[in-house]
Amino acid sequence: MTKKTLKPKAGTRTKTGGARIGRRKRIDTATDPYLLKEEYPDASECKKCRSVYHDKRWMHPNNVPIEAGAVPRKKVLCPACLKIKDNYAEGFITLEGEFLAEHKDEILNLIRNKEELAAHINPLERIIEIKERKGGIEISTTTEKLAERIGQILKKTYHGSVDYKWSSDTKLARVVWMR
């Protein structure tokens, strides 16, 4: 796999240091460098995905409340579109197996639908890239949660086996689904 190496972020190392991969899940959105990088004024609008920043959170364009609708919007790039632009992934999903090869299009449709549903709830949860390679498919996502959710829906819909690994000192999930 030729992914870029994900360096542990400053200030998020555990006492022991190193990028331990364990099953313990750490929820700490405060360590997301893309959420800290920029201060967005209220009613900022992403020029790429049209998400709107309102009330200190990003909203899908369909979910923006009326009171935020009339305000002139500053055009920005939201944290998810910045991650996509930088190819900065926090979730990786590997799909493998014979069943996958036979049902590839159907499975990819399910994953795309899941992304769309997730984006309605949180537009920062997005797929960065879907790469087909010999014997499987590699998907990267902007958040570790979306990778986890895609693993769950694959397991629920098609069964097979799924394995989750979270790094303890970086916000990173690796999901492997096989059938």
Burial 91-114 (b: 16+ CB within 10 A, else e): bbbbbbbeebeeeeeebbebbeeb
Q: Does 60 bind Zn ion (CB under 5 A)?
A: no
Residue position matching structure tokens 């959420």: 35
Query: Cβ of residue 7: shortest distance to Zn ion, in angstroms?
Result: 24
Measured between alpha carbons, how far is 74 from 164 in angstroms, rounded to an integer?
Answer: 39
Stretch that binds Zn ion, among 18-26, 30-38, 45-53, 153-161 (CB under 5 A): 45-53
Measured between alpha carbons, how far is 139 from 119 in angstroms, rounded to an integer?
Answer: 16
Measured between alpha carbons, how far is 29 from 172 in angstroms, rounded to an integer?
Answer: 12
Q: Does 64 bind Zn ion (CB under 5 A)?
A: no
Residue position matching structure tokens 């997005």: 126
Q: Does 93 bind Zn ion (CB under 5 A)?
A: no
Q: Which is nearer to Zn ion, 47 or 133 (CB)?
A: 47
Stretch that binds Zn ion, among 21-29, 50-58, 67-75, 102-110 (CB under 5 A): 50-58
Subset of 11-30 contacting Zn ion (CB under 5 A): none
Q: Does 78 bind Zn ion (CB under 5 A)?
A: yes
Q: Does 46 bind Zn ion (CB under 5 A)?
A: yes
Which positions touch Zn ion (CB under 5 A)? 46, 48-49, 51, 78, 81
